[in-house]
Amino acid sequence: MKTHVYRPLIVVLVIVGSILLARQFVVPPDFGVYERGFMYSYYRRSNEKEWEEFKVKYRTKQYCKDCHSDKYEPIVSSKHKVIQCENCHGPALEHPQDPPKLTVDKSRQLCLRCHAKLPYPTSLRGKLKGVEPAQHNPGMECSMCHNPHKPDMEGW
């Protein structure tokens, strides 16, 4: 073989070699495939423990039931029963100790996150009842007309 073929080959070998060498130093020793095979593919085993220790900040609406029954009762018999209080008010892990009050966000953005009309034909997001933000009563808070804890439109 001519040397002009050898030379690029050497370059490739050197690159592959240095990648293999660098792996020895940068890949954590517990990186691998474990009992469940390729279901979770390659991962760091010590990462399992990190997620176990990760503190969940949400309590779900059962937790609000006794103290805020005036909001809980209407919402669980409304179309918003499928969403969580904390979806609009933020995480309640230590509430009412810390923070003593959760956020009350009256912005249009809060609702438009889910209700801005998006024509996604193949996604469930597209099936959510939506409005055109610029046309649907612009400049007014949604909760002036819609009760976030009982948004049902029957009887309108």
Q: Which residues sit at the interface with ligand HEC, rule CB under 6 A?
A: 59, 61, 63-64, 67-68, 71-72, 75, 79-80, 82-83, 85-89, 92, 95-96, 100-102, 104, 106, 108, 110-115, 128-129, 131, 136-137, 140, 142-146, 148-149, 151-153, 156
User: Residue 55 Cβ, how far from ligand HEC at the closest point, in Å?
Assistant: 16
Residue 102 near residue 95 (C-beta atoms within 8 A): yes
User: Residue 122 Cβ, how far from ligand HEC at the closest point, in Å?
Assistant: 17
- Give 31 or 133: the residue with its C-beta nearer to ligand HEC: 133
- Give 30 or 152: the residue with its C-beta nearer to ligand HEC: 152
Q: Which residues contact 56 (CB under 8 A, 6 or more apart)?
A: 93
Question: What contacts 24+ positions apart, CB below 8 Å, involve 73-79?
Answer: 74/147, 74/149, 74/150, 75/149, 75/150, 78/149, 78/150, 78/151, 78/152, 79/151, 79/152
- Give 38 or 156: the residue with its C-beta nearer to ligand HEC: 156
User: Residue 54 Cβ, how far from ligand HEC at the closest point, in Å?
Assistant: 19
- Give 31 or 63: the residue with its C-beta nearer to ligand HEC: 63
Cα distance from N-terminal residue to C-terminal residue, the chain: 85
CA–CA separation, 56 and 91 (whole Å)? 9
